Structure 1
């Protein structure tokens, strides 16, 4: 089998996304976002996960020129790479599980977090991250935007990252919209947008506005298919696949930590001196706990 066929199918789905009817568009996005699951699962399991009927999957295969659904899925099965964590369960996980009760829940949650971090870090391409770091260090201003659950990650990255990247600005400020804070942005600037499914309308609008102003865009998300209304210069993908009934962003935080480390390394002695200055300032203002004297 042609080893490039899976890649070409994904590329074809991205190109056709805007012209596909509603249900087929949902399936196309699911396949692009979860190619390993698509290759592994049965047609019924894929239909359930994507929230469509099996007929929709068969229709999409026909639209792409395949003789059957299995013929469309086979390149994904052939090139299957498991998204599950590739590490043995550590002893402390086994001890938690053996403790019973909430210990089992704690063990499952711990494995879930470890798997998400590993999958997210495995997805990172060193060449792409080098391009991203160069863009950020060379930018006149770097805008950082996110809302709702993603805002906590944006604030963390801003708080830590500004030591290595003093041009970093968290927007919106002062209860404005992000667009208000982008009014003077232009081609010399970069914006980082963080958003995960379901994607925020405010973040999408900010991305569209930034692109119209010529701002370079770095997107941190769980998919390359966030909106057909704009394209990013770089899209950094992290995993949010979770065994919980809520989003898990441990992989996103690990990615942001990695970016800070790369920015520090890329900023050379200047960034290191700036971080040392921050640390000295914090030590000067730190409050230490002192044990009370015995009477």
Structure 2
């Protein structure tokens, strides 16, 4: 155990090893692997029986995972995750207005819990993206021939917003699928030199996964925005931007996702330089002219 305590990089090394070995694991070990990668804090905190309950597997399976990853036992596997919590546990300062909400009865409690969760999601999501990774993603997009952006269901709204603003810095940005097509139909002419951004969150869209697989086969670089980087063992993205989507209700809370998108947009506009600024000004001028036209015609 002392050897583990002295190696502050062991948690990240273990996660990398899990991802590398994932395709060869049995279904039950894959379930455990995904849980560890997606819930590193819980894995570091919970005892073996609680982790087994959350994963829906036996404690024996957890021990087998530890052995598979080269650890002597389960506690040796858990220890680097537990130690990482000492220095990296996210904390959100609770402002006074949160306490005021709690004083407002049952609905106030609901609003306060949702507000605290929203603030926490933004913090956790942003702190997971390093400046180096965000710069790599931005430059990959700026240097791409064509950029495809795909999402379905609830994720589509965020993709639409990203496309609406992002095309100012990325004129070749295309939101797919368009009309009644499938995303794969829109990727018919995609190839090397192109990049695809895919947004998907649990439960992951089969259509989006198939589009990612198809794009990778065509040589398209893939950027994933998701709540996990263990989406499928059938493809590997160049970059994955991880957002926390835990909510206080029955559906995902996407404020962390929007925060990541906003950060990426800010980088793209900044790195886009004068050309991006000119496109933004041109769009703003167009809106002013359009508004002036409607006001003038309304008077008549």
* Deviant stretches of 4+, over 6 Å: none
Separation of aligned partners in 2, 1:53 and 1:280: 63
Instruction: Tell me how far apart the structure 1 counterparts of residues 128 and 13 of structure 2 sit (CA, whole Å).
Output: 19
Aligned to 1:128: 133
- 1:195-246 per-position Cα deviation (integer Å, ceiling 9, x unaligned): 1122111111111111111111111111111111111111111111333322
Partner of 1:247: 252
Count of equivalent residues: 289
Give distance in 2, aligned partners of 1:113 and 1:247: 11
Give the TM-score normalised by the residue count of structure 1.
0.92
1:100 pairs, out of 101, 105, 110, with: 105
Measure, in 1, the Cα distance between the counterparts of 2:291 and 2:96: 37
What are the ranges of 5 or more consecutive residues in structure 1 without an aligned counterpart? 290-295
Whether 1:209 aligns to 2:214 is yes
The residue aligned with 1:230 is 235
The CA deviation at 1:82 is 7.4
Q: Is residue 2:204 matched to residue 1:196?
A: no
Secondary structure at the aligned position of 1:193 is classed as strand
- Conservation of the 8 A alpha-carbon contact between 2:145 and 2:172: yes
Structure 2 match to 1:52: 57
Match of 1:268 in 2: 273
Q: Is the contact made by 1:193 and 1:203 (CA closer than 8 Å) also made in structure 2?
A: yes
Answer yes or no: is 1:9 the counterpart of 2:14.
Answer: yes
Shift of 1:84: 5.9
Alpha-carbon contact 2:114-2:247 (below 8 Å) kept:
no
The residue that corresponds to 2:262 in the other structure is: 257
**SS of 2:142's equivalent?**
helix
Which has the larger share of helix? Answer: 2
Aligned-pair CA distance for 1:284: 3.2
1:178–1:206 CA contact under 8 A, matched in 2: yes
**Aligned match of 1:293:** none
Q: Bigger CA drift: 55-64 or 150-159?
A: 55-64
Q: C-alpha distance in 2, partners of 1:55/1:73? A: 15
Per-residue CA deviations over 1:115-143 (Å, capped at 9, x if unaligned) read 00110011111111111111111111110
1:24 matched to 2:29: yes
CA RMSD of aligned residues (A): 1.9
Superposition TM-score, scaled by structure 2 size = 0.91
